[in-house]
Structure 1
């Protein structure tokens, strides 16, 4: 369809889009209209939206397309049947062209495509559980289900058991076979640990023995333990929620959330990701997120992510507040006033082993996206918020003497917040500070993909998660960034 409508010289004038993020805190759908959308929609705001319908102008001809149904329309005066046939032949011929020069604008989107089309030109090669989505469903304030052991008695999995299960489920399996039903195995092993079915419109997860799936079930949290009449095996829940990722031998294709997407960005060398990653050398020496605490402590440990934020990342912020715990908007909130501008920063700190897994990022991204609206400092909530800052930081089970207001070069804190809220020249940043990611490692991974290596499922997850974060920030007029290891 793109070859017929979204040609290289097409001017996009209207588009209805669906957000591909699974976060409940993002805009789900939006419609944009302009004489030329390429002039008003940047790539950071388009990466996580899938076009549902669009209208273009090519050589004075106004056309519309709906990719999911294949419908193509052209605005014109009434025509006779011969002209209608000529139009149909022209469109059919354009659809047959391969390869074809496609509009650079449409390439900035991850475009959905029918599963049948993907399978006609490529083969699925790997499958893995979308552990980031599973973790979101079972862990944290917004969890909707719990994992339980089934047997003689129903018993909820402990936090440690959930973590172990997620680590196990994160392993990628190689898909083998040529039929409709295919087996998935660990690379180099013979035992089948999962089976999938390649149906007409979706991929179904038929079985999964990885992680003692037969002994783990999923219950709703709305009912007491053991009383959910719709309790089902883990693999059934994963299938129902499309909570798995399938990769193809075409590196541009990924089956995510029950839909095949073609994402050219994975082949662009990281142009849509690397500029948002900022190396910070001191994160190499971090050993904990918050550090250890004693009663008379007045600063955060230098070897903690919190310490790096205070002393390095947010060092130029005249106002810096620790907002961790309680009604938390961010781990730290910074305000920097310069001669002609104000900058508001929400810092979210994390620590972990160096990895390219999305799992370690999911909590931080979720927290950052959830609190983007609070970067506007809503006036009705600020009195209580400012009062909570006029205290010392009390770590879990250990009060300290660390003031929540780390720095304040403006005096009246409430007035400073009000000025930042109302300033016409304010810029807002959501910053994730983590020791679990290295910019060079990410850069090297993009280079390998450009050289022909297929991306791993964990890197695809990470890429999608970061793009969702950057896109969500753009939606509210903020900028998103990651401060990480060099």
Structure 2
């Protein structure tokens, strides 16, 4: 019977905690085949069969089921179904268990409860840099800020030596692809290993599983991925600090639903399941894009439906009445959206101690440590004129020729009075509020301003950080793009957001007749550097330093301080990743 199987090398690996009993294996198989078509039988049904490969001196135990199942046809409104065949194969070798499966019912909760998932970091530790080429890498930043860059991916013939690791300590590798000799492997944070190959016999797959286990058991000393965030035990983290914020990975969630053609349905009070309208779907998307704080009792704040985070022995899971009302189809069965999110790990949780984060079913620690706080504080620059500011742009009349002296815009123009050119790019297709050029310092500045009352609230920083990060790509403009903006925008007079046409020229400084020549020479300057500057009247260097020093000393701080650290850190890393300087103007 096993000779009929032809499988690719694609498995999840688990470490066995206690001796595996027959009853547990049967429960796994029964759970996996829960979506089998009624009144149909198994094509293959093998239970804990022993096999030996004498040439490889390998003995293993396997269990397998192949069965018919059905799934809805999503592109038709009628009740059509596709008949498919699902399978699950369990291979037991020593203290490890490998699972190969497709289209079977969810066994995630059961496996997570009974076994320990082998993480991607354990696989990555099985080879040295000299042996492999890292060809693709996907990273999740340790932040839940809705204004920060949350994830990024890289691809090259070999990323070693090409990818800057200055922010690696705050980045979680959740997928990587590598080449080792003639073999290409992909490894994900869910413990899944995929090796490019043709379909293989059961014995060949078992031999491959044995090779992977030997690699796990024989880690090398160091490799490229050691610079990134490291996995830690959740139970240990929970004894030190508590969760303080949760973010549903909405983009990953909805991308997965669209990719699989899965529609979202809603269960009415009468128990009827109907497809949600576009309006409800958009409302759901909007609700899941927000960051929600968690109180000391693990209740999710601002929802008021009993939503909470559950702290289990090895995991943090989400409970939400709101999400439980929605249904999605998976492998022919309807499950709640809440269960779907938990199963696929589409949520992230931060803690009171900002160096920890829970992501994709595991807890990670920032390997760069609290020493990075000093580097973050260095980007804060106090400006004497800012305390006198009363507004961002000031007041306007049709006769206004300059921004009023009590405005942030006026302060910016005074700070950069020595620059050669100053342009106001506020409103419309803006790249920044101000763009300045300085040939002597070989510098181009993109400046974004935001006014507010002095506070350590993270919410005030969200908008201006988001604006700055969004426009980072524009900092590497070509000459034609800037000259086009000059003709279309900068040669006009400033018009306020309230529609008042002023006499304030958008060209705030510089001889525009020489700009074409000036820009061409500046862009050729090998010393040319770029600065992304945030001007924030609500931030105080002394207040932030005091709070961040508490974090360094291990003292408790409010949740908004942790969020503030994440946001400033995310801004700094995003700007540095673009080879630019991050600067924040603020008050003393």
Which range, TM-score by smaller chain? 0.5 to 0.7
Distance 1:36 1:368 in 2: 29
Distance 1:6 1:333 in 2: 46
1:201 CA displacement: 5.8
Aligned-partner SS, 2:351? strand
TM-score after normalising by structure 2 = 0.54
Larger-Rg structure: 2
Within-5 A mapping of 1:81-480: 109-111=228-230, 113=231, 117-119=233-235, 122-123=238-239, 125-128=242-245, 172-175=294-297, 183=299, 194-198=307-311, 203-207=317-321, 245-247=349-351, 252-255=355-358, 260-265=363-368, 267-268=370-371, 270-312=373-415, 314-338=416-440, 342-387=442-487, 388-396=489-497, 397-408=499-510, 411-480=513-582
Q: 1:68 aligns with which of 189, 199, 205?
A: 189
Q: Which has the higher contact order (CA 8 A, sep 6+)?
A: 1
Alignment root-mean-square deviation, CA: 5.2
1:70 CA displacement: 5.7
Distance 1:104 1:410 in 2: 53
Q: Structure 1's 322 and 484: CA in aligned 2 closer, same or farther, altered over 3 A?
A: same
| Contact 2:249 2:347 (8 Å CA) reproduced | no
TM-score after normalising by structure 1 = 0.64
Match of 1:145 in 2: none
1:68 CA displacement: 2.4
Distance 1:53 1:110 in 2: 14
Distance 2:362 2:396 in 1: 47
Paired residue total: 397
Distance 1:94 1:343 in 2: 47
| Contact 1:241 1:257 (8 Å CA) reproduced | yes
Q: Structure 1's 352 and 458: CA in aligned 2 closer, same or farther, altered over 3 A?
A: same
Distance 1:35 1:237 in 2: 31
Unaligned runs of 5+ in 1: 56-63, 73-83, 96-101, 138-153, 157-164, 177-182, 219-231
1:321 CA displacement: 0.4
1:326 CA displacement: 1.0
Distance 1:464 1:107 in 2: 22
Matched, 1:18 2:143: no
| Contact 2:250 2:346 (8 Å CA) reproduced | no
| Contact 1:269 1:446 (8 Å CA) reproduced | no
Match of 1:180 in 2: none
Distance 2:248 2:586 in 1: 22
Aligned-partner SS, 2:392? coil
Distance 2:375 2:174 in 1: 18
Aligned-partner SS, 1:20? strand
Distance 2:360 2:213 in 1: 34
1:267 CA displacement: 2.3
Q: Structure 1's 110 and 201: CA in aligned 2 closer, same or farther, altered over 3 A?
A: same
